[in-house]
Structure 1
Amino acid sequence: MLLKVDPVDSFSGTFRVPSSKPETQRAILVGTLADGTTRVFNDLRCDETETMKNACRAIGAKITEHDDFLEIEGIGQSSPRIGRVIQSRGSGLVFRVVTALASAQPSPVVVTGDATLRNRVMEPLLQALRELGADIESIVGKDQAPVVNWGHRLKGGTCRLPGDISSQFITAILFAAPLAEGPVEIEVTGEVFSKSYIRQTLASLTEAGIKVSASEDMRHYQVEPSAYQAQDFTTREDYTSASYLLAAAALFPGRTVLTNVYGDSMQGEFAIVPILEQLGVSVTFDRATSTLTVDNPPGSMRGDFAVDVRDCPNIVPTLAALGAYVQGSLRVTGGRLTRFHKASRIEAMASELTRAGVDIEVLYEDGVCDGFVVRGAQTYPGGVTLSSWGDHRIFMSLFVAGLRMQSANRFSGFEDVRLSFPTFLEEFAKAGVLTTAVEEENVPAEAAA
């Protein structure tokens, strides 16, 4: 099925921002590895957090969902009681962390995932775990999922990881390192991207009593064998999810209010707030009521703007959608990591927006797709079918871009919002956005990319 989305003349109202997916996932991991009971308040419930919960249940945690919090009985100091096969579905974080945790226990474990995950880069993580004493073999022989971990435990020592592919490699080893027989050191080569996600991991570990340190440039980490301690966590808002609502608010003059927003965040994607302010949009936090108010005056988004997204890669598709309406240009660089996500996100957005008539050019650095420059217009004809490339963030960004076009567009992949923002369509319906599921037609070839 495709989703037909009618354009709107205005966008305003009150909308709820989902809770943070990465914060929820990290809290679930800490609760699983801790001795005692952990509670996670304001947790996000979506497909990818459900995948993390199921994986942690396979490790041995008891996880109970209450109306407003999760309750987790962890495994403590005992060896992870990991099931023989762990299903990661499409979650790179689940696969990478569970693969690392499986290295800290004595019996064989197979860690697998769906077709999208089996195409993602895993070799640097597997090699780093081998350097720490793990015995891991790729079943397909390409150092990709699925893998079998033969369970020779992590001995400790020093491993090396690249910093320009995925911060999840570092996060995975940081979570497993306290379970190793000796201290673990991580040396990161090259530039470190997505530092905010690593900071979130370090904060979670420190709160849980893990002895971990990081160099100022985040290229060296040391972890001592230590025990996870149960904690209570309160998850804050997710700024990647908020970016779609904020971008829609920036496309139309008026006032928009977002709830479940606290304003204190370690997330790199918080950058969407100062970016909107740079574009001339007013953003005001009210911490007493946990709200954010967007006032978009007529005449905003005019000029030539530049954004570096090294620490906020997940809003790259959102920025492409916004840029389509900048009266001038928006230049985005530092997004090379996105080529390793579910889809090559820069190329995906450029391809689909070009199909809709947007003037967007992919930028390369050292032969690598690193960003784009988009020269916007007031509106576009619409009436086209746009592919999500199998990536929920591409769908949500293209959805926003279509709101100011002249006629309805059709989109593939709308069901995938359940991965991180299950109430996406309901929230936009509050602003009068009409959507209709229609029979599928020929989807562009890029969908298979």
Structure 2
Amino acid sequence: MTATDTTTGVDADRAEAEGSGLSPWSALVGVPHVDVAPHRAPIVTDIALPGSKSYTNRALLCAAMADGRSTLTGLLRSDDSYWCVESLRRLGAAVTMDGTTAIIDGLGRRRPHPEARLYIGSAGTTARFLPGLLAAGGPGRFTLDASRQMRGRPLAPLLLALRQLGGDITCPGTEDAPPLEIEGVSLLGGPVRMSGAVSSQFISGVLMAGPMALNGVHVLITDHVVQKDYVAMTLDMMETFGAIVEADDDLAEMRVEPGGYRPADVALEADASTATYFLALAAVTGGRVTVTNVGTATRQPDLRFIDILERMGCRVTREPAAVTVEGPPEGRLTGGLDVDMRPLSDATLTLAAIAPFADGPVAIHNVAHIRKHESDRIGVMCAALSTLGVPVDERTDGMTVHPARPSHGVMETHDDHRVAMALAVLGVAGAGVRLLEPGCVSKTCPPFFTLLAGLGVGVAGASGG
């Protein structure tokens, strides 16, 4: 990986100086828009999709904190994973990339560059997982900065918990948000009480630091854990890298013993959130799509999107490592649904994008927190649907989308990968769509539009320097 990639022309140093989330792994840099054409024929394909962002960044960080060599295959090459890798290199870890395979010579508790300045772009998982690992590791004073977008997403619950465990973490700019200054060997560990109602990533950030803290960590949840699956994914990955963990069934009490991480070789599965867009294409075109590299054995909650598609009249075939969705003839979906999307909130916009093609309203509830993601996803999606002629009722915690035949539109993506990909699906099933600043898909799926074109969908403008 070099500072400048000849395909994209993105200079990492310049991106950092400008507070950008772009990276040398970005796609569509300098491309002002992409046109997605309507597609009337059934989409039929077997497809392997890029690796899971959630698993990729968890595995990268555990491997870098292990004392020895790990090999990760199926890694997601995206903006978020680029900046995670780059931060680990700046700390002194040796990371060799070959396509989607990473060989990592981990650091254990060593910090060869004790004054490292780290930049994580817009990588939310890295922002929440790395501070505790820095505070619990070897001596040093580290600076962790992020993109303009990420600086606007406070980390208060995480920082409060880490400070209660002894972590010396200060915020010289915005309170409780990057940039952060972190003192190594400051995280003593021990018991800590946390709310789980805001973000599971805050809990994961404390847990991942546990094996390296002097006294481990004992996390007590004071209310409930939102999206418990992601915490379970964290615990699974930690155990894969040799951590000793205990947790009750509700994840209300979790213990992590001190002792560090051991190297491991890990094959990463596809990203279930990315899979929702391709499975949705089967639903709205009356086609059949098989995703060949993620199935019911996964911990990723967004794969439960197939349960919703089944309720909407699709035929679903489930296997441990693959899933198939067959849409009803001509994409005539069943509506009249009321769906709690909290457990799989990243799939909210996918459901909203196919809801106009149902024969009755689709009500989405319990996702107020997605207003504070890369964009106000509820507000943005409701505005987009209205612009395209789809009646929609906006609520604080969701929306109700009514049946309609969407018109063509020119749509802002709001620097939000999920907005861009969801609206692309809507355009395929509707009258087409022009998406402005489409490169935001690089956060989780840089080849998205290339994959879409490979299915026979008309995609124009997806090239640039």
Deviation of 1:51 (Å): 1.4
Kindly indicate whether residue 419 of structure 2 is the aligned counterpart of residue 387 of structure 1.
Answer: no
Q: Report if the CA contact (8 A) 2:191-2:219 is conserved.
A: yes
Deviation of 1:279 (Å): 0.9
Q: Which runs of 5+ in 1 are unaligned?
A: 364-368, 439-449
Indicate the residue corresponding to 1:13 in structure 2: 44
Indicate the residue corresponding to 1:402 in structure 2: 427
Deviation of 1:38 (Å): 0.9
Secondary structure, aligned partner of 1:103 = helix
Letter in 1 for 2:250: D
Indicate the residue corresponding to 1:34 in structure 2: 66
Indicate the residue corresponding to 1:217 in structure 2: 250
Cα distance in 2 for residues equivalent to 1:257 and 1:324: 23
Cα distance in 2 for residues equivalent to 1:243 and 1:427: 14
Give the TM-score normalised by structure 2. Answer: 0.87
Q: Report if the CA contact (8 A) 2:68-2:105 is conserved.
A: yes
Cα distance in 2 for residues equivalent to 1:335 and 1:158: 30
Secondary structure, aligned partner of 1:64 = strand
Indicate the residue corresponding to 1:102 in structure 2: 134
**Percent of pairs with identical residues:** 31
Residues paired across the two proteins, number: 429
Secondary structure, aligned partner of 1:403 = helix
Deviation of 1:300 (Å): 4.2
Secondary structure, aligned partner of 1:44 = coil
Letter in 2 for 1:130: R
Deviation of 1:9 (Å): 1.2
Cα distance in 2 for residues equivalent to 1:185 and 1:82: 28
Equivalences for 1:127-138 in 2 at 5 Å?
127-138=160-171
CA spacing shift, 1:273–1:181, aligned 2, 3 Å: same
Indicate the residue corresponding to 1:186 in structure 2: 219
Indicate the residue corresponding to 1:205 in structure 2: 238
Cα distance in 2 for residues equivalent to 1:213 and 1:54: 32
Secondary structure, aligned partner of 1:133 = coil
C-alpha distance after superposition, 1:188-243 (max 9, x if no partner): 23332121111100001122221222232222222221121111111112110010
Kindly indicate whether residue 75 of structure 2 is the aligned counterpart of residue 43 of structure 1.
Answer: yes
Q: Report if the CA contact (8 A) 2:283-2:309 is conserved.
A: yes
Q: Report if the CA contact (8 A) 1:35-1:76 is conserved.
A: yes
Q: Report if the CA contact (8 A) 2:111-2:140 is conserved.
A: no
Q: Report if the CA contact (8 A) 1:391-1:413 is conserved.
A: no
Cα distance in 2 for residues equivalent to 1:339 and 1:78: 39
Kindly indicate whether residue 350 of structure 2 is the aligned counterpart of residue 318 of structure 1.
Answer: yes
C-alpha distance after superposition, 1:237-275 (max 9, x if no partner): 211001011111111123333333444211010111111
Cα distance in 2 for residues equivalent to 1:65 and 1:152: 30
Of residues 441, 452, 464 in structure 2, which corresponds to 1:428? 452
Cα distance in 2 for residues equivalent to 1:284 and 1:147: 46
Deviation of 1:106 (Å): 2.8
Indicate the residue corresponding to 2:398 in structure 1: 371
Secondary structure, aligned partner of 2:361 = strand
Indicate the residue corresponding to 2:14 in structure 1: none
Deviation of 1:296 (Å): 1.6
C-alpha distance after superposition, 1:293-336 (max 9, x if no partner): 33222274223112222221111111111212111021222212
Indicate the residue corresponding to 1:444 in structure 2: none
Give the TM-score normalised by structure 1. Answer: 0.90
Indicate the residue corresponding to 2:84 in structure 1: 52
Decide which structure has greater strand share: 1
Letter in 2 for 1:306: D
Deviation of 1:159 (Å): 2.5
Cα distance in 2 for residues equivalent to 1:239 and 1:120: 24
Of residues 408, 415, 440 in structure 2, which corresponds to 1:416? 440
C-alpha distance after superposition, 1:163-202 (max 9, x if no partner): 2222111111111121111132222233321211111000
Q: Which runs of 5+ in 2 are unaligned?
A: 1-31
CA spacing shift, 1:194–1:82, aligned 2, 3 Å: farther
Q: Report if the CA contact (8 A) 2:335-2:355 is conserved.
A: no
RMSD of aligned Cα (Å): 2.1
